[in-house]
Amino acid sequence: MFDTSSFITESIADLKSSIDDTAIIACSGGVDSTVAAVIANNAVGDKLHCVYVDTGLMRKNETQEIQKMLGELGLNLTTVFAEERYLEALKDVTEPEHKRKVIGELFIRIFEEEQSKVGAKYLVQGTIAPDWIESGGGVRDTIKSHHNVGGLPDDMTLEIVEPLRDLYKDEVRDLARALEIKVADRQPFPGPGLAVRCLGPLTLERVHVVREACAIVEEELELAASEGKMDLPWQYFAALLPVRSVGVHGDVRAYGETVVVRAVTSLDGMSAKYSEIPHDVLAKISTRITNTVKGAVNRVVYDITHKPPGTIEWE
Ligand code: XMP
C-alpha cells in the first residue's frame, strides 16, 4: 500500500534541500503537474513560479478551468498564450515522433523564456514512471517520446527536478486526494494535448473539430455513467483521422474525415482494455459529432483495440 503521507513529507524535505534558488514549474492542470506543483509549493513557497502554457491544443474551456483551479490552490501562476507559435511550429509536421519532439522543444523554449524573466535555475516537472519507461528508459524500446522527456533539447539550461518520477498514475491520484486537489478524479490528458488526437495536418480548423468531438464524447459518457448505463471509463476521447469518405448531408454530397471514439479501462495506462459502451450511447455520440461539425466529419467509428497491441492514444 502506497503511503501518501510519508511520500509527501519526504518529498517536501527533499525539495527543500535540493532547490536552493528560484524554481519554475510547468503546470498543465493535469493530475501529475498539479500534484508536483502543490508539493513544490509546500516545500519552497514563493521561490516557485508556476507557468501554464496555453498551446491551443487543450480541451474545450480547459484553460479557464485550469486557471481557476490553480489560482484556488494558491499557486503563483503566469499564463502564456502560445497557440499561434504551436500551430506555426507544427505546420507540415505529421509524423507522430516528430510532432512530439517539436512540441516538447517549443515547450522547453517557452519555459526558458519565462525562466529568464524570473531568473529561475530549476525546472520542476510532473514526470511519472510510465513517461520515461515508454520513452526508452532502461532497457525498453522507445514506444512514444512522452512530452516532458523526449522533447528535451541537449542544450537545455535548466536543472530538472522530478519529484514524482518513480510513481504510477494511481499513486499520483492517491496523492492528489490526500492533498485535497480537486483534479484527483480527472481523466488523464496527454502533454502534447489534442495534437496527438489530430492525425494528419494540424490546422486551426482540424483542432477545432477534434476539440468539439472530444467534448461530446466526454459529455455523453459522463451522462451515461451518471444514469447508471455503464461505468465511467478510465479515459475517453475522440481522435480525428485524415481518412476521407463519401457521405451525404441533406441531399448534398460530402467528402469528410473520420472521427474515432476511444474509451478504455486501465489502472495506470501501461495496459488497457477497450470499454464496452451501450449502442444507444455510441449512436448519440455519432449523431452529435456529425451534426456539430457538419461536412468536416462524415463517419464515426469505435476503436475496439486493447493495449497492447494498440496504445491508448493514436499517436
Ligand atoms: P499511450 O498512448 O502511450 O498512453 O498508451 C498511456 C497514457 O499516457 C497518456 N499519454 C501521455 N501523457 N505526455 C503525458 O503526460 C505524453 O506525451 C503522453 N502520451 C500519452 C495517455 O493519454 C494515456 O493516459
In a domain, 141, yes or no: yes
In a domain, 202, yes or no: yes
Residues 179 and 215 in one domain: no
Residues 168 and 27 in one domain: yes
Residues 154 and 222 in one domain: no
CA of 30 to the centre of ligand 1 (A): 12
Q: Which of 132, 144, 267 has most ligand 1 atoms within 8 Å of its beta carbon, as the pocket-test mutant? A: 144
- Count the domains in the chain: 2
Distances from the Cα of 35 to the Cα of 42, 163, 181, 237, angstroms: 11, 10, 8, 23
Please give the residue range of the domain that contains residue 54: 4-185
In a domain, 311, yes or no: no
Mean pLDDT to the nearest integer, 112-128: 91
C-alpha cell at 180: 485535497
Whichever domain contains 284, its CATH number is 3.30.300.10
Residues 178 and 205 in one domain: no
CA of 256 to the centre of ligand 1 (A): 28
pLDDT at 251 over 50: yes
Largest Cα–Cα distance of the chain, in whole Å?
69
Q: Which one, of 40, 46, 8, 37, lies nearest residue 183 by Cα?
A: 37
pLDDT digits (tens, 9 = 90+) for 263-276: 999 998 999 999 99
| Position 151 confidence tier, pLDDT thresholds 50, 70, 90 | very low
The pLDDT score that the predictor gives to residue 184 is: 61
In a domain, 131, yes or no: yes
Whichever domain contains 137, its CATH number is 3.40.50.620
Q: Which of 147, 165, 185 is the last residue of a domain?
A: 185
Q: Which of 127, 199, 313 has most ligand 1 atoms within 8 Å of its beta carbon, as the pocket-test mutant? A: 313
| Position 108 confidence tier, pLDDT thresholds 50, 70, 90 | confident
Count of alpha carbons within 13 angstroms of residue 6, beta-carbon side: 3
Which range has the top average pLDDT, 129-133, 183-187, 205-209?
205-209
pLDDT digits (tens, 9 = 90+) for 19-34: 999 999 989 888 899 9
In a domain, 190, yes or no: no
The pLDDT score that the predictor gives to residue 150 is: 39
Residues 48 and 71 in one domain: yes
In a domain, 204, yes or no: yes
Distances from the Cα of 203 to the Cα of 10, 56, 198, 308, 313, angstroms: 45, 11, 9, 30, 19
Q: Which one, of 102, 87, 191, 111, lies nearest residue 151 by Cα?
A: 102
Count of alpha carbons within 13 angstroms of residue 205, beta-carbon side: 10
In a domain, 60, yes or no: yes
- CA–CA dist 193, 202 (Å, integer): 12
For residue 72, how many other CB atoms are within 10 A of its CB? Answer: 10
Mean pLDDT to the nearest integer, 131-146: 70
CA of 89 to the centre of ligand 1 (A): 21
Residues 130 and 211 in one domain: no
- CA–CA dist 222, 35 (Å, integer): 24
The pLDDT score that the predictor gives to residue 152 is: 47
Q: Which of 141, 160, 185 is the last residue of a domain?
A: 185
Q: Which of 185, 209, 238 is the last residue of a domain?
A: 185
Residues 22 and 148 in one domain: yes
**Sign of the alpha-carbon torsion through 38, 27, 66, 97:** negative
The pLDDT score that the predictor gives to residue 226 is: 98
Average per-residue pLDDT in the chain? 92
In a domain, 309, yes or no: no
Provide, rounded to the nearest whole percent, the portion of the chain with pLDDT above 90: 78
pLDDT at 154 over 80: no
